[in-house]
Amino acid sequence: MHSSYLTPPASNEAGEKDQYFYDTSVKIPTITTEERARQALRQALEGSTILDSYSIVKVIGFGANGVVLAAETINYLGSVEQVAVKLIYKAPASVYRPAPTNNDKIPSEIKILRAMATEPHPGLLRYINDFQDEKNFYLVTELFGTDWIEPTYKIQNSEGHYANNETQTLAPLLYYSQLWGPSSLPFSSGASDCWGWAYYESCIAWAKKTPKNSPAKLPIRVIKTIVYKVLIAMIHLHERLGMFHCDIKLENILVSRASNLDEPIDDYNVNIRVCDFGHSDFLIHGMKHIGTEGNAAPELVACKGRVAVDGAKADVYAMGAMIEKLIEARDAAKEDDFDLNV
């Protein structure tokens, strides 16, 4: 989750970056999420052959539970395919849990994505493969989304909005490859989600449309498109797959544009993918877990997991909370032409 709605992130998981990991049953030094991501990647790239069939391009994000890579592989048609590889950390051994193995219980996110692959939809992130070793689970999906944050830094620096943020890149990951020897991997601070899109559009508004420090004006035409496509994807998830998401929010909607970022902001073709199914489940089980409390339905917060609630209705409530954030960022309530009808 990002630290606040329109503040520049240090990574696509800013806000989680400053969390620390500490297992009270195993006395180990505390480390940041970035440090843990670097450790996990070095172990995967240096001490395991599990990623040998992929050409790793760069790190595109990290958080409390894992790190995501952009990679390329040869698909069954013999052509190069761009994919995202998500490393999901396994819990370390302790007095309460056995040491991880090569055949541990599959996380629910992977199970859900496997099931979703039976009824694919263009608005839901596409599952490709998964595997595991002693340290991590590896989830392979389509690579989707525009990096909205990198161009905003150029805008900020050129316009002088953030004089202290001249460089926002993270240091590359240095590791030793058995095949290539000493190697480095770009460590991205980008964000391809709806939060990143809103932040990019806000910077465009500051730089080109309004005086400095004026409220951001997100393009209503694009808001309508994003909301419509997310709703269609959720209808498929609820009615065709019989599942709920449980954590609908800006950060879990990947956003991509077909046209160049230099073109007028109202003219590009935006597309979306709903992602992050770590809290998802089947509707028949009901919803007990809270994904993000600020977006959770009141009945879900009130029962505190003691009673299962209707997951589809809770997703609709979370959708409303997400739309409200987009409207607040646009300040559209004061405009005469405001209309969410698509």
- Binding site for ATP, by residue number, is 86
Q: Which residues contact 264 (CB under 8 A, 6 or more apart)?
A: none
Q: Which residue ranges make up the annotated binding site?
A: 86
Amino acid in position 1: M
The helix (H) or strand (E) run that includes residue 308 is none
Q: Find the length of the chain.
A: 342
> Residue 181 pairs with which residues in a beta bridge?
177
**DSSP E strand boundaries for the chain:** 20-21, 31-32, 55-62, 66-74, 80-89, 127-132, 136-142, 173-177, 181-185, 243-244, 253-257, 270-274, 281-282
Taking Cα atoms as reference points, which of 319, 321, 320, 287 lies closest to residue 304? 287
Q: How far apart are CA 232 and CA 237, in angstroms?
A: 9
- Looking at residue 280, its amino acid is S
Q: Are 218 and 279 contacting, i.e. CB atoms less than 8 angstroms apart? A: no
* C-alpha distances in Å from residue 288, one per residue of 16, 47, 258, 285: 23, 39, 38, 9
Q: Is 45 in contact with 56 (CB distance < 8 Å)?
A: yes
Q: Where are the alpha helices (DSSP H) in 208-259?
A: 220-235
CB 320 within 8 A of CB 295: no
Residue 295 is classified by DSSP as G
Helix H, strand E, coil C: the string for 20-48 is EECCCCCCCCCEEHHHHHHHHHHHHHHCC
The number of CA neighbours under 13 Å toward the Cβ of 318 is: 28
